[in-house]
């Protein structure tokens, strides 16, 4: 298999339409289920130990990268990543309205990236996953925006000492750290995914 270009679609009886058909919608939903189950399992097992909670985006990126790439490779149309993103947003809706927006935004950007690569460029696919994995950082987004308001309220309630204590703990750099982890997770995940796909799925002829 060539490095840069992937196998083009074979000609079918009808010209392939640009829109996602029922078959592809079903595929997207099924991969979405897989993505979300894996994500939840990882987050819950990491969530036991508070420190590891922050590293969760790396693990999720590692594991779910393959799922994401398989999904978009099987569909190869606009909308696969978006649907995954919307499903993800629904499942993590308790992160607040900003979290939902963030997830959908990152999914959209990922879609655009793939579109720019005309669904053929391998590098663009990998990049789109890196962007997609940013959605793991979105639940923390709510914390970041609400944090200032929260600190202010606490100052009024508990006094300065307490509020300073909180401010010391919940510094800004935690959020940047999470963002960084998400990017690292995305890169690692896409590398792992490309290796796995080449080793298994292309060899078996599924993709």
Partner 1 sequence: MGFDVYDDESKALLHFDPRTKFMLFVTSLIVSVNCFDLMPLLIYSVFLCAIYFLCGKRMQAVKLFAAFAFLTYLKFAMERAGTGAPVVVMIFSTLITVFLFFFPVLISLMLITKTTRINQFLAAFQAMHLPNALIIPLAVMFRFIPTVQEEWQGIRKAMAFRGISMEPAAILRAPMKTVEYILIPLLFSTISVMEELAAAALARGMDSEKKRTSCETVKLRVHDDLVMLVFLGIAGYFVYRKITGGAA
Partner 2 sequence: MIELKNVDFHYGGENGTGDGVDALNLTIHDGEIVVLCGESGCGKTTVTRLINGLIPHFYEGELLGEVLIDGVNVSQSELSETAKKVGSVFQNPKSQFFNIDTTGELTFGCENLGMPPAEIARRLEKTKDDLKLSALMNRNIFELSGGEKQQIACGSVYATEPDIFVMDEPSSNLDQKAVHRLHDTLCKMKQAGKTIVISEHRLHFLTDIADRFIYLNDGRIEREFTCEEIMQLSAEALSGLGLRCTSISQIPCAPQPLNQQKKPALEVLDLSCSRQNARILDIDRIRLPEHGIIAVIGDNGCGKSTLAEALCGLLPCDGSVSFGEAYLDAKQRQKQSYLVMQDVNRQLFSDSVLEEVMLNADVTEHDAKSTLSALGLGDYTDRHPASLSGGQKQRTAIAAALCAGKEILFYDEPTSGLDCRGMERFAALLHDTQQRVRLSVIITHDPELILRCCTHVLHLANGRVSAFYPIDLAGAERVRSYFLAKSEDSTSKKRDHTSQVGKILQYAGDHRKTVCFAAFLMILGAAASVTPYGIVSILANRLLTGESVTLQNSMPLIGGILLCEILYAVLYMQGLKVSHHAAFGTLENIRCRLQEKLEAQPLGSITERPSGEIKKLFTEDIESIEMLLAHMIPEGLANLFVPAAALLLLIAADWQLAVLTVLMVLIGLSISKQMYKVGMDRMGSYFASARRMNNEIVEYVGGMEVVRVFNRQNDSDAKFEKAVREYRDFALDWYRVSWPWMALYGSVFSHIVLYTLPFGGLLILLGQLDVTRYLLALILSFGIGPLLLHCMSFVGAIPQVSYKLQSLERALDTPPLKAGDAAFSGTDHSIRFEDVHFSYRDTEVIKGVSFEVPQGTTFALIGHSGSGKSTLAKLLVHYYDLNSGRISIGGQNICDLTQDALNAQIAYVSQDAFLFNKSIMENIRIGRKDAADEDVMAAAKLAECDDFIRSLPQGYDTPAGLAGSMLSGGQKQRIAFARAILKDAPIIVLDEATAFVDAENEQKMRRAISRITQGKTVIIIAHKLRSVQDADRILVLRDGQIAAQGTHDALYQTSEDYRRLWDISAQTQDWKLKQEVTA
- Which residues of this chain interact with partner 2, rule CB under 8 A? 9-10, 12-13, 23, 199-200, 203-207
Among candidate residues 29, 112, 107, 110, the one with its CA nearest the CA of residue 75 = 29
Q: Which is nearer to partner 1, 66 or 194 (CB)?
A: 66
CB of 21 to partner 2, least distance (A): 9
For residues 118 and 125, give the distance between their C-alpha atoms in angstroms, rounded to a whole number. 10
200 binds partner 1 (CB under 8 A): yes
113, HSE (Cβ side, Cα atoms, 13 Å): 20
The verdict on 27 binding partner 1 (CB under 8 A) reads yes
Question: Does 146 help bind partner 1 (rule: CB under 8 A)?
Answer: yes
**Among residue numbers 106 through 135, which ones bind partner 1 (CB under 8 A)?**
none
Q: Angle of helix 172-196 relative to helix 138-158, nearest 10 degrees?
A: 160
At its nearest, how many Å lie between partner 2 and the CB of residue 204?
4
Q: 204 CB contacts (<8 Å, ≥6 apart)?
A: none
Minimal distance, residue 154 CB to partner 1, in Å: 8
């Amino acid at each position: 298999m060539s490095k840069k270009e992937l196998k083009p679609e074979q000609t079918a009886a009808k010209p392939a339409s640009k829109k996602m058909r029922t078959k592809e919608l079903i595929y997207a939903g099924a991969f979405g289920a897989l993505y979300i189950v894996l994500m939840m399992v990882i987050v819950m097992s990491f969530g036991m130990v508070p420190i590891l909670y922050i590293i969760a985006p790396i693990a999720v990126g590692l594991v779910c990268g393959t799922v994401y790439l398989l999904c978009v490779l099987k569909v190869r149309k606009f909308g696969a990543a978006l649907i995954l993103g919307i499903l993800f947003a629904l499942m993590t809706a308790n992160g607040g309205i900003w979290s939902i927006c963030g997830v959908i935004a990152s999914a959209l950007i990922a879609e655009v990236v793939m579109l720019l690569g005309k669904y053929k460029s391998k590098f663009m696919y990998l990049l789109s996953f890196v962007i997609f994995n940013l959605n793991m950082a979105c639940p923390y987004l709510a914390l970041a925006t609400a944090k200032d308001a929260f600190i202010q309220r606490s100052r009024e309630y508990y006094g300065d000492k307490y509020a300073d204590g909180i401010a010391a703990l919940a510094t800004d750099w935690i959020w940047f750290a999470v963002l960084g982890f998400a990017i690292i997770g995305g890169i690692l995940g896409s590398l792992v995914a490309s290796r796995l796909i080449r080793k298994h799925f292309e060899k078996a002829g599924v993709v």
